[in-house]
Amino acid sequence: MPALNVEFSDRELEDLRQIAKERGTSMKALVREAAAADIARHRALQEGAEAFRRFFASHADEFAAAFPDDEPPARGEGRVA
């Protein structure tokens, strides 16, 4: 399995030791769990953003009608020649 060396300050390392001890786990397991949780959170945010983009795109006309002041000006509008 691929590995990654991660450097921590003395304070961070001591905090990790303490947290791992309190949770009854190893430091390696603690750090791996934290990284895996962040990866899962990142994926969920990406999926949520994509779902929002699809929803927004499929309802663009409704949003434009409901919020006309937020619509960008049409090409050529608002420009001085």
Q: What is the pLDDT of residues 20-32, one digit of tens each?
A: 999 999 999 999 9
Q: What string of DSSP letters covers 2-22? A: --------HHHHHHHHHHHHH
pTM over 0.75? The answer is no
Q: What per-residue confidence (pLDDT) applies to 79?
A: 55
Q: What is the pLDDT of residues 17-72, one digit of tens each?
A: 999 999 999 999 999 999 999 999 999 999 999 999 999 999 999 999 999 999 98
